[in-house]
Each structure stands twice: as structure tokens, then as C-alpha cells.
Amino acid sequence: MPIKPDLPKPPEFGAELAPTHENAETLNLLALRRSTPVTALTEPGPSPSDLDALLRLAMRVPDHRKLEPWRVLIIEGDARNKLGDYFAAALHLREPDASEAALAEERNLPLRAPTVLAVISAPVHDPKKTPVWEQQLSSGALCQNLMIAATAMGWAACWVTETSAYDSHVHAALGMKPGEQVAGFIYLGTAKQRPVERQRPAVAAKATRWTG
């Protein structure tokens, strides 16, 4: 069952914080964390207070020069149907000969979970020249924090993009500005089946020690 997090109060600006937080449960979560396939999600989803907690945790990310180069759209209830209509309309514009079955499939994508969070990468102009790439990485970190926090609270989650995330007509429907991108659609709900382990990289194959 999902838990109601008893979070500490947000620290005051400038307050001293612990440099480390040794926690075996966190290490265990990271060792075993697995996204739930989006097709395995169902009702119920997080409550408004759950989402407030999730977003508070998610936004504690590395953010060079404190630019906050991201925002989140919460999509629930009938708004999912409206988003699905935009997905289908965008597909029809891309592929005028798309079949009714293909359009119906696109229309149903946002209905796969009770809650969808659209994380928008929103790089800002920075006179000190923080690279856009660094700002985009911060958006990805927010997505990953959402995934970890959701799992820790007991909610199943899946991070996807799919074609609609890159479609300009969908961007317009979401009120996105030039230069903004969908970092991810985070689908949240309850798992109707247990995910199975997938292949993982071998550390020795992906990490090498640089010696100059």
C-alpha cells in the first residue's frame, strides 16, 4: 500500500544541511528499483497531497545557478481524454492516411494510468551563460527523482516520451514555448502485475578508470 510521507519541513534558505544521509533503505531501493511497464498500470493514482510531496522531492535536483529550468503539468481525469485527442490529431497531421485503429490507439495513450505528469524542459536565458545542455540535464534529474520518490511512496511509475512528445502540435496544445521540450511523460498509478528484471549493464563494461 502507498504510504503517506511524513516529510520534514523545507529547510530555510541558507540553513546548514548534512553533507551525507547514510540510509540502507535508499541503497536497497536503488539496487532493486524497476520501472513498471506503462501497460501494467491501473487505478488508483496519487492523491493531490501525494503529488505535492512527490513534486517537492522531485524538484530538489542539481540546478546550476538556480535557474529552475523546468515545469510540470499534472494531467488527470478528463484532461487525459483531451490530451489523447491532441495526440490523435497530431498523428493525423503527421500521417493523413493513419487508420482509425492507429488513431484510437494514440487517443488512448494518456488513459493508461490515472495520473500523467508532463515534465517540460524550459531552458531560460542566463546572462552568465549556463549551457542549455546543463539545464536540460536538470530536467532529466527531476524525472528520475519523480521515479524514485514515487517508488519509495508505493506508487508504480513509468517514464516515457513516445512520438507525441516531439510533435509541435502537441507542444502547442500543452502551451509550450519555443525552445521547450518534453523531458518525459511520467505515468503514475498502481501496478496490476509485478515487473520482471530486465538486462542491466555490467559496471566493468561501462566504467573505466582514467589515468591521464
pLDDT by residue (tens digit) across 98-138? Answer: 999 999 999 999 999 999 999 999 999 877 889 999 999 99
Give the list of residues 6+ apart from residue 94 with CB closer than 8 angstroms, or none: 163, 167
Q: Say what the pLDDT of residue 127 is.
A: 75
DSSP secondary structure string, 117-149?
A: EEEEE-----TT---HHHHHHHHHHHHHHHHHH
Residues 160-178, mean pLDDT to the nearest whole number = 97
- Provide the mean pLDDT of the chain: 96
The pLDDT of residue 82 is above 90: yes
Within its chain, how far is the Cα of 190 from the centroid?
A: 16
Residue 105: predicted pLDDT: 98
- The pLDDT of residue 175 is 98
Checking if the pLDDT of 55 tops 90, the result is yes
Indicate if the pLDDT at residue 88 is higher than 80. yes
Number of other CB atoms surrounding residue 33 within 10 Å: 13
Position 5 confidence tier, pLDDT thresholds 50, 70, 90: confident
- Rounded CA-CA distance 187/1 in Å is 18
**Predicted local distance difference test score (pLDDT) of residue 57:** 97
